[in-house]
Amino acid sequence: MRHTPVDPSKLALQRLYHWEQAAPSHVVLTQPMGGGAVSTFTWAQVMDGARRMAAHLQSQGLQPGDRVALISKNTAWWLMADFSIWLAGGVSVPLYPTLAADTIRQILVHSEARWLFIGKLDGWAGMRPGVEAAVKTGLACIRLPLAAPMAEMPTGTQDWEAITARTPPLAGKPVRDGDELATIMYTSGTTGAPKGVMHSFGTFAWSIEAGLKRLVVNEDTRMLSYLPLSHVAERTLVEHGLLATGMQVFFADSLDTFTQDLQRARPTAFFSVPRLWVKFQQGVAAKMPPAKLARLLKIPILRGIVRKKILGALGLDQCVFAAGGAAPMPPELLNWYARLGLPIIEVYGMTENCGVSHATLPGVQRPGTVGPAYDGVACKIDPANGEILVKSEGLMLGYYKEPELTREAFTPDGWLHTGDKGSIDAEGSLKITGRVKDLFKTSKGKYVAPAPIEDKLVMHGAVEACCVTGANLGQPLAVVMLNAEAITSVRDAAGRDALVASLGAHLKTINATLDPHEQLDSLIVVTEPWTVDNGFITPTFKVKRNRVEEVYGARYDNWAGSRQPVIWADR
């Protein structure tokens, strides 16, 4: 889909050589090693490790275009492994570090990966059978530092540190053309089997250059990398942002140490999914009642002190660029952070366009929209069904080994189907109103868009995830999954009664904002967690609607007739 050649100096390998020569002693990666210890890596060290591993891959027979997979939480070695694949001439295939064994096997087999880097993982024991199934077909494994012990690795696995200690670094400056395939990124699969999105070195280079015209990221930026690098947002912003600017990247150690990791990095730029921004807000509310905070922020002499204290406790007191994406940001959440002096930029994109499509302008919030398109991105609304269509130089090359699906992804004249419905306002800002395929019709013949209602529901402190549904019912209903704290609180009758009252009040407040045909009959409360393993959510925490329908659909009619505002699914 590329039309305009990218300046070769902007491509990934050329950027690596630039930093290797221009700033060899500059510390760029800070890696927690557990127990409070950290390791740092300069450009010279990063490139030395990547060159040594690239030489090893070539010595093992890697041919240009061979696929090399990578499954790990974010670490310094994730990036070094990716760089080594590109230096050696291969194509990287990153896997989410939370995938189920069957999905891992499926991707490894479909991509025809010849090698797999295995890194730091929380659930390796459950993933291992999927890897071992692929090993039987000829896959070779390499263990990264911080991974499970070698004794738990598949037979024949080699070790990164042993390989790099004995292998001389790859010499010279091999280059890859902008049109050459760089990676296959498998989508998280909300509607079926993951699809392998193919991106070139050129699509990444164009996308980060377009993004940096809007985003406040430069050589002085500090970022904490914790969202999966296998996701397009982190891959473009962190990996290719690093290559473009030379910023410093910090990694998170674990969920338990996240606060300390943030305090260590004191990021000047921070990107998160809406759910984490909500959790930060709820954490503040637990220590200071919202009404009291609102009063303090209205007092000029105290406003600055309160803001500094709260942002400092979050580790965001030095943040000058805050962004949210991957799901809609509720307007009231954006307004809350703006009052704290931390306006959040809302970004919109998808794997198929390198995550670069729209973003609100720094300092110009437009709650309810994702702002105007980036420079070089064209956007229009399909008059037939309201679908958002986009076109840019960052569009994917297609889906790997799926020519028919690739054709279906584009209009005949090259516009990408986003699958999202939306509208463009008079200022050119895009408003997303839901998914084309998520709309459902009630028995009254009225269409309901679930996404805006779900955005309101998840603002309750007990709700971890939800799904608004109700095709062919008189009124919609919502299935809501409680978070861990709420599940603990309802173990006794008093706690359950209190939560029922709170959720009932939340439902009443939301219904007052909805059109009559959208108003929810009931909230169906679920205490069993929705996880990747049980198929309810994707690795990027999107709810799989078809799974919700499959498990709970047979009970909708009974629930709809109960006339109760809050119903427990497990009773």
Secondary structure (3-state) at 292: helix
* Cα separations in angstroms, 192 against 103, 126, 549: 11, 21, 14
In 3D space, the residue among 467, 338, 394 whose CA is nearest the CA of residue 199 turns out to be 394
Q: Encoding tokens for residue 215?
A: 């985003």
DSSP state of 562: S
Classify domain 441-568 by CATH number: 3.30.300.30
d(Cα 313, Cα 283) in Å, to the nearest integer?
10
8-16+46-214+225-240 CATH, one of 3.90.1150.10, 3.10.290.10, 3.10.180.10, 3.40.50.980: 3.40.50.980
b/e 350-375 (16+ beta carbons within 10 angstroms → b):
bbbbbbbbbbbebeebbebbbbbbbe
Domain segments of the chain: what residues?
8-16+46-214+225-240, 441-568
Long-range contacts of 334-341 (CB under 8 A, 24+ apart): 334/365, 334/367, 335/367, 336/281, 337/277, 337/281, 338/365, 339/294, 339/297, 340/297, 340/307, 340/310, 340/311, 341/307, 341/311
DSSP state of 450: H
Each of the 571 residues of the chain gets a pLDDT tens digit; together they read 445 678 999 999 999 999 999 999 999 999 999 888 999 999 999 999 999 999 999 999 999 999 999 999 999 999 999 999 999 999 999 999 988 898 899 999 999 999 999 999 999 999 999 999 999 999 999 999 999 999 999 999 999 999 999 999 999 999 999 999 999 999 865 556 789 999 999 999 999 999 998 888 889 999 999 989 998 999 999 999 999 999 999 999 988 888 899 999 999 999 988 878 888 888 888 888 888 988 898 898 888 899 999 999 889 999 999 998 877 777 888 888 988 989 999 999 999 999 999 999 887 778 888 999 999 999 999 998 899 999 999 999 999 999 999 999 999 999 999 988 899 999 999 998 877 877 777 877 777 888 889 888 988 988 988 999 888 888 899 999 998 888 888 888 888 899 999 999 999 999 988 878 889 999 999 988 898 888 888 776 778 888 888 898 888 888 887 778 999 987 5
Q: Tell me if 8-16+46-214+225-240 shares its fold with 441-568.
A: no
d(Cα 111, Cα 93) in Å, to the nearest integer?
8
The residues facing 398 across adjacent strands are 198
DSSP state of 517: G
